[in-house]
Each structure stands twice: as structure tokens, then as C-alpha cells.
Amino acid sequence: MKEIILKLSELKSGKNRFSVSSTAQELDLENIEFPIVDDIKTDVEVYKNRNNFEIRLKTRFTFHLTCSRCLSEFDEEYADTSTFYIKKGEIPEIPEGMIHEEHIQTLYVSGDEYDIAPLIREQVILSIPIKPLCSETCTVPSYDSGMDEVDSRWSELLKLKEKL
């Protein structure tokens, strides 16, 4: 996976902004269930306060999906925004049962660099829809009862349907 390195010492105090563009291949996303159509674009905002950093990632990309109802293929744009916190130092011990959301979103670094590529990759993977729909009004194709030829494997089910 291609690294997207954030050099913490080179950031000025306050707000820092930049954008990155990555391919699915660079982020090791070429074998996911639904392919990504174009580049993955990420706007990065880093707020620096001494040795603490707040990172906001706004990632935009397009999936090539298959509708879970009608099986038609379509493209759909996605955008996701996530916030993470980076602190210099070692991971503190947290007493059992005392984990808060802040602990989950806080990343600890010992050096001066942090690779944000895994965070972007995670955003894309977590955006994969479970049941994609081409539209809200999409319906399941109906069975055509006027078919001349019926597969013999379905004959018992058709008999059950006629009894209803």
C-alpha cells in the first residue's frame, strides 16, 4: 500500500489543509466487493495544538454497484468524513470498563511521521453498502407466469403456488 505520510513537525500551529488523490490499487482496494470507478479524493484538515493533532478526513469516491433487488449495475458517489486524534507518546493503560469514544479515535505515535493511508482505506471499506439499491422505487422483477417452458426443478414449487 502506498504511504501518505503526515510530517507532524512540519505542520504549523492551528489549521493545516491539503488534498490527496489515490487510486484503489495504491490503497490496496482493488479486490473489494464493489470496484471503485475513479480516484479516491481526500481533503485533509489537521489542527495542531502543541503535540496534539486533530485530523479530519473527507473522502469522496464512486463505487460501481449491483442492485440487490433488480441486479442492474450502476455507479454511486460516496463521501465520508471522519475525525481522529493523534498524540505523541505511548498508549496509556485504560482501566477496564472505562473506554470512551475518544480512546477509540485517538492514535499514538512515537516519531514525527504518521501514515494516513490506512485511515483513508478504512473509510472506503466501511462505506461499502450492505444492500445497494439503484433507486428507492426499485422492485424485484416478477415471475412471468405466461412462460411456455418451465424448468422441471421448479414444478413442485409451482404446484404449491397453485394450491394457495
The domain limits of the chain are 5-141
Which tens digit of pLDDT belongs to each residue from 25-79? Answer: 999 999 998 999 999 999 999 999 988 899 999 999 999 999 999 999 999 999 9
User: How far apart are alpha carbons 81 and 77 in whole angstroms?
Assistant: 14
* Three-class DSSP labels, 110-124: CCCEEECHHHHHHHH
Q: Where are the alpha helices (DSSP H) in the chain?
A: 101-105, 117-126, 155-163
Tell me: the pLDDT tens digits for 122-142? 999 999 999 999 999 998 877
**Residue 86: Cβ-neighbour burial (10 angstroms; 0-12, 13-18, 19+):** buried
d(CA 110, CA 94): 18
